[in-house]
Structure 1
């Protein structure tokens, strides 16, 4: 089994593009395990970004929308202001992963924010999204609040720091490390190289 590790944040539009390209690159393969790792771009109490300020509209027009169109990944700049913190959603990801729905959960968080303009910092919204993908809502809500989930999330962030992750997405396949969005071809070659090593 070849593992593809990806560090990402649910409020990073490039992470949705990367996630879609990874899905395409591994489609039909049962020899690849995609492993998600959290990396909060703006952890509490750092202020998060506001779409009415100049930075977000500018970077979306210059970089996000052109890349999304090039790779045929629909998305829209969310209107939620300020943008949500993602620690709560990531605590839920630990539970989703434990019950085998980590990949579906990860994608649902990204699409909820970038395609449906949903506030993924809101516990009620998160619980509803978790239920949509088949998680028990009461168990999910309890897991999000559990001290053990908070500790596991902090441990994952510490691992991200040890790995020197500063850019999301960052993808690691075997000994190859890719910072930023990688094309399907690059991903497939990295997987082939790792499988042959």
Structure 2
């Protein structure tokens, strides 16, 4: 929909973290703006660039389905990667890290069983095969596009300009 802002991002991308913080600052100015989150892997497996975000993203889909505050989940994942240096590739460690947000047993079980692997695959395909995302973060609003410059990201003013478009 034209009035929805679609955001493609990855939890291991420092430019996504910066853009996420910009968006959180700007959101109160645009209370009617609908946001649709699309987590995607900036470097999917089996390529090895370390660490991979596939479990964090599957956890996002768990959180979404179970009514967890998504902004709080995003903040936690970014904090885990960039501040607390949590091993996000270990299910037990990741589950313990979000234990105050989720039912740990169910969260772990969903990751171990790959409950959201198909959602992860669909989200990656939406980003890279259907939406023309080259680098994250990337934004889509109707026919409008805002793509990060690789290894630079986007500016707060670019996000504001996109939010102002209707």
Shorter chain as denominator, the TM-score bin is: 0.7 to 0.9
Q: 1:158 aligns with which of 125, 131, 135?
A: 125
Give the Cα separation in 2 of the matches to 1:179 and 1:136.
35
- Alignment map for 1:34-113 (pairs within 5 Å): 34-48=35-49, 83-101=50-68, 102-113=70-81
- Counterpart for residue 175 of structure 1: 143
TM-score after normalising by structure 2: 0.85
Q: Deviations over 1:81-116 (max 9, x none)?
A: xx3111111111111111233332122111211112
Where does structure 2 lack aligned partners over 5 or more consecutive residues?
Answer: none
- Counterpart for residue 142 of structure 1: 109
- Counterpart for residue 185 of structure 1: 157
Where does structure 1 lack aligned partners over 5 or more consecutive residues?
Answer: 49-82
1:33 deviates by 2.8
TM-score after normalising by structure 1: 0.72
Asked if 1 retains the 8 angstrom alpha-carbon contact of 2:5 and 2:33, the reply is yes
Larger helix proportion of the pair: 1
Bigger-Rg structure (1/2): 1
Name the SS of the counterpart of 1:189 in structure 2. helix
Aligned CA-pair RMSD? 2.0
Give the Cα separation in 2 of the matches to 1:183 and 1:24.
12
